[in-house]
Amino acid sequence: MPSTYSTSLRLELMADGEQSGTWGQKTNTNLGTLLETAIVGQATVALSSTDVTLTANNGVADQARCAMLLLTGTLSASVNVIVPATMKLYDVVNGTSGAFTVTVKTASGSGVSVPQGQRSRLYCNATDVLEFWGSGTTANKLLRLDGSAKIPAVDGSQLTGVTASQVGALPTAGGTMGGAVKETVTVITPSGSTYTMDLSAGNDFDAQTLVSSPVFANPTNLPPSGKVQGFFILTKNPSGGITGMTFGANWTAIGNITPNLSPNKYNGIAGKVYSSGLTTFSIIPGI
């Protein structure tokens, strides 16, 4: 019985008793050349004005097996790069120039247009090419890089009612973050000499300039059962310094508990609060 070939990567599948004297060479080609190419190989595809169908050869090197497709050339018309209608991932980099588009597709599919200077991870599902992530034009992708928060359902349909603010900042095209993650810093205003964290306000707190003998009370609005919440408190000593820091009964030190007492120095208090009220902490003394 002669050899056959795998559907997606076209590796040679040797039948029992076949390839006598050459099976080692065939195996090395399958594993050391063809499979390696499918994982880390790159094919450069030169484009100009006509569609290009990637080569797809059984048991020998080709373009369509490569993991990455680097598209080059000066376009004088919009063109298609046609891949085999078999299941396969492609990382595509569009390095072409000229005011035209490049679409990666199967022979009968609609495909994905990859903008010039951008990259996308594409997936052929044996029928058409879809965008796994990237900056292309298709809606059914897992992550867009243009900040528009397009999120597909598992079946590829577009989720509705989800805004960019609900999703958070997404990277923009080209890989630059559309906005860093920012948290609100809550000022703790003392009651006399007592400072109390309200955990419903967030995780970052600023006690500003302390009184000379500050007392940090047990936090309020604890996390729900089974949850834990981290926190950080920034403090600044007054011009006369502080005599020390006192903590509520639920506070348990797990590290340094000696602050810098000197005038105008900063200290940090970092820790976690558990649903039981247990507040583990350590003091980061200023220098």
What is the DSSP track for 131-152?
Answer: EEEESSS-S--SEESSSS---B
pLDDT band at 170 (very low <50, low <70, confident <90, very high): very low
- Distance of alpha carbon 191 from alpha carbon 117, whole angstroms: 58
pLDDT digits (tens, 9 = 90+) for 74-102: 999 999 999 999 999 999 999 999 999 99
Q: What is the pLDDT of residue 21?
A: 77
Q: Are residues 9 and 134 in the same domain?
A: yes
Contact 37, 8 (CB under 8 A): no
Q: Are residues 102 and 210 in the same domain?
A: no
Q: What is the pLDDT of residue 157?
A: 45
Residue 268 in any domain: the answer is yes
* Close Cβ partners of 270 (under 8 Å, ≥ 6 residues apart): 230, 231, 232, 233, 281, 282, 284
pLDDT at 153 over 70: no
Q: Are residues 122 and 57 in the same domain?
A: yes
Q: Are residues 279 and 223 in the same domain?
A: yes
Q: What is the pLDDT of residue 190?
A: 96
Contact 26, 53 (CB under 8 A): no
Radius of gyration of the chain (CA): 30
- Distance of alpha carbon 273 from alpha carbon 231, whole angstroms: 8
Residue 170 in any domain: the answer is no
Q: Are residues 126 and 8 in the same domain?
A: yes
Residue 19 in any domain: the answer is yes
Query: Angle CA(83)–CA(6)–CA(89) in degrees, nearest 5?
Result: 40
Q: Are residues 45 and 112 in the same domain?
A: yes
Residue 173 in any domain: the answer is no
Token reading at 189: 């205003």
Domain boundaries, position 254: 185-285
pLDDT digits (tens, 9 = 90+) for 11-48: 888 877 777 778 778 887 877 788 888 888 999 999 99
How many domains are there within the chain?
Answer: 2
Q: Are residues 131 and 198 in the same domain?
A: no
